[in-house]
Structures are given as structure tokens and as C-alpha cells.
Amino acid sequence: MIKKIARGYGKLFSSFLKIIFLAALCFALGFLIVYPLWLFASSAPSAYTVCMMVVIAVALVFLLGLSLKKMGFARFMIRIGKLVLVLGGIALCVYFVFASNRMAALLVLIAVFVLYGFLAFGVKKYEKKN
């Protein structure tokens, strides 16, 4: 009976120590990653900005390449066209609203709606052939 109780407390403290160890490990790894980046960002902000922009651009090109390979060129271009159309249309609408030209914003919104419908439903769906 005492062995069962001791074994139960042993498992409990073992689990507790594992949790404490993992939390300490996360803290240490976080510190090792974040502290040099913070030091770099605070000592040379412009160089840090350029480095982060390059890292993000490389990651974006890599992800776009994977997506292109997975979907095929035609489907990829249709998807990129839809994305550019929606984001550009929203940006243009906001610009026209802030420029106090609400009629132009409405025309852009209608044009984006029609063109998106054409890209989404009117263009032949290209399937990637394996």
C-alpha cells in the first residue's frame, strides 16, 4: 500500500518536474532567439528592417513557388489575379472614398464584383495533370 502511494506521488512529481523542465526549456530557447534579434533591432533599426524584409520576401517567393508547383501555372495565375483584383479594388475604393469621390468608388466596387465573378466562375477550371 505504501509502495502504491509512493509510486503515485513519484509519478505526480515526475510529471510536475517535466512541466517545469519544458517551461524552462521554452523560456531559454525563446530568450536565445529573441534577445539577439531585439539587440540587432535596437542597435541598427534600418539594417534590421532590411534583413527582415529580405527574409519575408524569400519566404514569400518560396511559398509562391510551392503553390505554383502544386496548382499548375494556369490555376495559380487565376488565383493570383483574383487576389490582386480584390486587394487592388479595395485599396482603390478606399482611396476614392478618402478623396471624396464616392461615385468613382462605387464604380470600382461594381467593376471588381463583375471581374471577380468572371475570374471565379467564367474562366475554365484548369486541372493539374499528374
CA angle 34, 39, 41 (to 5 degrees): 90
68 vs 54, more confident: 54
Q: How many helices (H) and strands (E) does the chain have?
A: 4, 0
Q: What per-residue confidence (pLDDT) applies to 94?
A: 95
Please determine, for residue 53, whether its predicted confidence score (pLDDT) is greater than 90: yes
Would you place residue 21 in the very low, low, confident or very high pLDDT band (cuts 50, 70, 90)? very high
Q: What per-residue confidence (pLDDT) applies to 119?
A: 85
pLDDT digits (tens, 9 = 90+) for 70-124: 988 888 888 898 999 999 999 999 999 999 999 999 999 999 999 998 888 887 7
HSE-CB of 26 using CA atoms within 13 angstroms: 6
Provide, rounded to the nearest whole percent, the portion of the chain with pLDDT above 70. Answer: 95
State pTM to two decimals.
Answer: 0.55
User: In this structure, which long-range contacts are made by residues 72-78, counting pairs with CB atoms below 8 Å and at least 24 apart in sequence?
Assistant: 72/126, 72/127, 72/128, 72/129, 74/126, 75/125, 75/126, 75/127, 75/128, 78/119, 78/123, 78/126
Q: What per-residue confidence (pLDDT) applies to 126?
A: 61
Please determine, for residue 62, whether its predicted confidence score (pLDDT) is greater than 60: yes
The three cell numbers of residue 16 are: 510536475
